[in-house]
Amino acid sequence: MPASKPISIAIVGGGISGLCLAIGLLHRSQHKISIFEASSAFAEIGAGLALGPNAQRALRLISHAAEQAFRDYATGNSSPTLSKACSHTIAYRGLIPMDNAKDVLGKYADDAYVWCGNGGMVMTYPINSGQVLNVVAACERSSWNEKKYVINSTVEQLSKDFENWGGRPREIIKLLDKPMLWALLDHLPASQYHSRNIVIMGDAAHATTPFQGAGAGQAIEDALVLSELLGRVQCLRDLEPALAAYDTVRRPRTQKIVQTSRDTMKLFAFTDGKVNGDAEK
């Protein structure tokens, strides 16, 4: 439904949610869209991301072309200002060439696996059409004192944090020659996601730890809902009700993901106070 008078929409940030929103709006409106991004170029960050069925459906509804672009690069294996909160967890992340990974892991390099242990977890899954193994090794840390949230680390430090681990997780760790260390922060729940004609989405609204593989998917869902609502805006008077509807739909779902992701890490690390490493539970 074209707007009787197109409005100007500024998208601050060219991340997953911002770009998906722009694509969605191009298909649904005649609004003037501008994207503002601080980085001079887009580049790989040395980590993979997961899109579940919900995220893939949302991407398809935003744009069939966008979904096809995702599938072209997907794995080819068969099988208001918000306060950040420390999750008391850190994660080492890195990539291993698949040939090297298969030499050590064999069939376990072909699919997604999570190894759980006291105070930590190691997760692996193939990316880049199965040519690379993505690794996340997370463990508890009471605080984060670095100025940056992602820093270069060493195999020695990684090995020290997982010194009591053995078996395949230990072999995986040895293959990470240049691990990156990430502070895992999330957002404290915001009371609302919009104010007048300003709205937040993606990590700006609900940054989460990675233990449900849902952060990127929720950003895409945000973009779908917001592009549908803004596509129906025909004048400035329609804008605030549209943003209020977005807040009503998205805030409860995304904030639940933030909490359940924390809870999932506690299960992985046997620190939930209930399971405590008992596989029967």
Active site residues: 93
Asked whether the beta carbons of 68 and 114 are under 8 A apart, the reply is no
The beta strand positions in the chain, using DSSP E, are 8-12, 32-36, 84-97, 113-117, 120-127, 132-140, 150-152, 180-187, 194-195, 198-199
Task: Measure CA 232 to chain center.
Answer: 28
What SS3 class is residue 115?
strand
Q: 223-226: long-range contacts (C-beta < 8 A, 24 or more apart)?
A: 223/16, 223/17, 223/18, 223/20, 223/21, 223/23, 223/24, 223/58, 223/62, 224/20, 224/24, 224/58, 224/59, 224/61, 224/62, 225/249, 225/250, 226/21, 226/24, 226/199, 226/201
Residues in CB range of 278: below 8 A, 6 or more apart: none
Rounded CA-CA distance 129/146 in Å is 34
Q: Which amino acid is at 118?
A: N
134, 210 Cβ separation under 8 angstroms: no
What is the C-alpha separation between 278 and 109, in angstroms, rounded?
26
